[in-house]
Chain A
Amino acid sequence: MNLLTRSSINYIIFSVISFVIGGIIFFHVIQTVFYRQIDETLKTEKRLIEEQIDFSDSLPDFRQVFSHMIEVTVFNSPKKKFEFIKDTMLYDKSRDKLLPVRQLICENTSIQDQGYIISISKPLEETTQMITTIIGALILLFIFLTGLLIFVNYFISKSIWVPFNKTLENLRNFDISRDAALALRETGINEFRQLNKTLDRMTKKMRRDYVNLKEFNENASHEIQTPLAIIKSKLELLIQGEGLNEEQMGMINSVYEAATRMSRLNQGLLLISKIDNNQFHHTELVDLQKIMEKTLDHFEEIINLKKIRIIHHFNAPACFQMNPALSEILVSNLISNSIRHNIEEGEIRIMMDSDGFEIANTGYPLTIPPDDLFRRFRKSDRTTDSVGLGLAIVKKIVLLYQFDIRYEVKDNFHRIKVDIHSAKKQDIAGTDVSS
């Protein structure tokens, strides 16, 4: 629910509640005022009748004048004096129906010690009508005012939140690996100005750190590669020389192997940091089935030498918009992994459909927890010569494209399943948001 809807709904709820309460109170106040007025009139009339009676000492006949609304009845046994006012219904002959009235009843003892009762009635029809009209007008006024206020509130809020939404939009489009700074719009509202200032400072610092890190990585790579190149080339020259004995040759060999390992390590780490830094901008629609076939072709002889059986079911090609170099590294690392950790005369099963692929291979039981499999430098001790970055690189690529990767052991097969379907769905959702 967005902010505007939320505030509008709250606004409506609170106005309805306050109107209902206010309306009830208002209704009672109006009713009281009207009743008081009627009661005053009733009392005044009663007083006039009493005076009339006192003056004439007989019962006057009001019937001609006031119709049935005033009745004075004489009765013999005098009673205590009393007076009360009540709401009741009275039959109206002319209209042949019961009408609500306000009635004053009063007993008195003044005519020759005879008691009499005065009953004065006032029809309430007009009053009720008036109250209804007032309340109706009030409801209309309330609806109009609430509507107007919601409308005004909506537009005011909308214009007030414009800088915020703009900032949000900017943040969404911010890419640390691109050079563009966060272009935040000037705003007159203090809070938003502070927000923008803080964001601007944060992103600038992030960008600065990022550039520093990137430069450090690049420099480090350059600085390490060159000495390594010198070491390796000098060693290569050295072994060409005659007259080295076996012991010296062995030592040179160890140094050479270590240097080779180090350069591979360096390259692997550089690749990871490049993926981290999102430096593989270029993408195209990659057909993973073609890559898979090319990779299998590349390793064909190793596969044959190890007498590994390859069974593949390419049901449908898995295509994805990604960097072609990374797609090759992803597939190549997984395939070479399934060859390296395989057993003699083992088996590799590859399944592929449009949602992704699964590579399953026979092999020795895992010596490390499966969760550690994709971490750097974690490797089962069987093949100590490997650098231990292959699956870490795979994980990085998978994360970059939001694929889903799962590892499990089932029926003596190590299975690694890469699901590109989830990424595709997010991709579609993502384009929806941006459009």
Chain B
Amino acid sequence: MKILLIEDEKELSSAIQSYLTRGNYLCETALTYQSAQEKIHLYQYDCVIVDITLPDGNGLNIIRELKEGHIDTGIIIISAKNSLDDKIVGLDIGADDYITKPFHLSELNARIKSIIRRRNFGGTNEIILNEIRVVPEEMQVFINEEETILTKKEFDLLMFFLSNKNRVLTKESIAEHLWGEEMDMADSYDFIYTHIKNLRKKMLENGGHDYIQTIYGMGYKFLTA
């Protein structure tokens, strides 16, 4: 999987790059509008992540150029502005998703996974991990080929874990993923704990492994190794 990251902030760019590289992506970076333009004309990417405020140009133009040539490339906009207009325009001209700075790397990763999965028309959309089989479109989960009924939030949680295997997911990132950014709910961490407890229980009931590890005070990790 080849990803192009267009982000002018060097430190942020390198952090995103190393997070994505660990997930077995090939992640290239472009720090300027100029170099981004060159790269999208020379190479083919599965997904392009664009910061729309670049020092030497507007990221929206890159999306327009991309759409002319490579229809299949997934596009995620990163913006510090959180302005509705940018979001509407961006999605209108063909971007797949929009994420506002500052974001959790795990969240960005989950969004990339979801876009690549959706764009993978040829292959199957199922996610298979050992005894777990997930059909995202139907919101179905099978463990040892037996369907396990999960609530909406438990399903979202499982998908978030599967997108970020073997990573520490902080409580904050899980809370924001489940309830959205504007959610200002202090005791939501208790709810995460309860959700995880229920999810773990349901998976164990059908003979699944206990993948979820608690990182004390910090969050959780979905351990497959």
Contacts and interface: CB of A to CB of B under 8 A. Distances in A.
Interface of A: 218, 221-222, 225-226, 228-234, 236-237, 239-240, 246, 249-250, 252-253, 256-257, 259-260, 263-264, 267-268, 270, 282, 298-299, 301-302, 305, 325, 329, 332-333, 336, 339-340, 383-387, 389-390
Contacts of A299: 179
Given A232-B102, A249-B218, A256 B185 contact: no
Contact of B81 (A218, A246, A305, A333): A218
B172 A226 contact: no
A232 B105 CA distance: 8
B80 to A, nearest CB: 4
A390 B184 contact: yes
Q: Which 5 A-B pairs have the closest CB atoms?
A: A385-B186, A229-B102, A233-B15, A225-B80, A228-B102
Interface string B177-220: 00111111111101100110000000000000000000111110
A340 B105 contact: no
- Prevailing SS type, chain B contact patch: mixed
Contacts of A228: 101-102
A363 to B, nearest CB: 13
A250 B105 CA distance: 20
B168 interface: yes
Given A230-B9, A234-B15, A384-B186, A267 B181 contact: yes
B153 A226 contact: no
B22 A236 contact: no
B191 A305 contact: yes
B117 to A, nearest CB: 22
Contact of A301 (B9, B195, B219): B195
Contacts of A340: 185-187
A286 B116 CA distance: 34
B183 to A, nearest CB: 7
Interface string B81-119: 110100000000000000011111110000000000000
B44 interface: no
A226 B80 contact: yes
Contacts, number: 125
B19 interface: yes
B150 to A, nearest CB: 11
B16 interface: yes
B120 interface: no
A239 B168 contact: yes
B19 A233 contact: yes
B167 interface: yes
Given A225-B102, A237-B19, A256 B186 contact: no
A329 B104 CA distance: 22
A222 B81 contact: yes
B34 interface: no
6 contacts: A225-B100, A225-B101, A249-B215, A250-B217, A267-B181, A383-B187
Contact of B16 (A233, A267, A333, A389): A233
Contacts of B58: none
B139 to A, nearest CB: 15
Contact of B179 (A230, A237, A298, A389): A298
Contacts of A385: 186-187
B153 A301 contact: yes
A169 B14 CA distance: 56
B77 to A, nearest CB: 14
Interface string B21-65: 010000000000000000000000000000001000000000000
Given A221-B80, A226-B12, A230-B15, A253 B218 contact: yes
A390 B11 CA distance: 32
Contacts of A233: 12, 15-16, 19, 102, 105
B78 to A, nearest CB: 8
A383 B182 CA distance: 16
A282 B102 CA distance: 26
B151 A301 contact: yes
B140 interface: no
B160 to A, nearest CB: 14
Contacts of B102: 225-226, 228-229, 231-233, 259, 263
A100 B175 CA distance: 110
